[in-house]
Amino acid sequence: GENVEQHPSTLSVQEGDSAVIKCTYSDSASNYFPWYKQELGKRPQLIIDIRSNVGEKKDQRIAVTLNKTAKHFSLHITETQPEDSAVYFCAASIYGGSQGNLIFGKGTKLSVKP
């Protein structure tokens, strides 16, 4: 089955700096890669996702890149703000197939210092 590795487990940056979180996956059949942000005591919320037919996707300060050959994808947050502090999870799944479930990485705790 699918296995998702996520690094680093913790990340501390100064406000305004960029943050990068990296994930690798094992199942070449996976074709959907979402990123979730979870604030303390709240449900995980989707912040951006990418499907295997594109290599990069941007949404304002957030971008995700995908390298299918190497089976890794990354989250990039630019101009970080204190409200970006949260735990971020990457995940992988076979979108639209009989299994729409997600396999999650272990998470990255991002701290943005003012």
Partner 1 sequence: SAVISQKPSRDICQRGTSLTIQCQVDSQVTMMFWYRQQPGQSLTLIATANQGSEATYESGFVIDKFPISRPNLTFSTLTVSNMSPEDSSIYLCSVPTGLTEAFFGQGTRLTVV
- Bridge-partner residues for 14, per DSSP? 113
On whether the CB atoms of residues 49 and 62 are closer than 8 A, the answer is no
**Distance between CA 3 and CA 112 in Å, rounded?**
28
Q: How far is the CB of 17 from partner 1 (least distance, A)?
A: 25
Compare residues 14 and 53 and give the one whose CB is closer to partner 1: 53
User: In terms of CB distance, is 58 or 106 closer to partner 1?
Assistant: 106
- Least distance to partner 1 from the beta carbon of 36, Å? 8
Task: Enumerate binding residues for partner 1 (CB under 8 A).
Answer: 1, 32, 34, 42-46, 49, 89, 91, 93, 95, 99-107
Q: Which is nearer to partner 1, 9 or 18 (CB)?
A: 9
Pick from 15, 30, 13: nearest CA to 73: 30
- Smallest separation (angstroms) from partner 1 to the CB of 74: 18
Non-local CB neighbours of 83 within 8 Å, separated by 6+ positions: 112
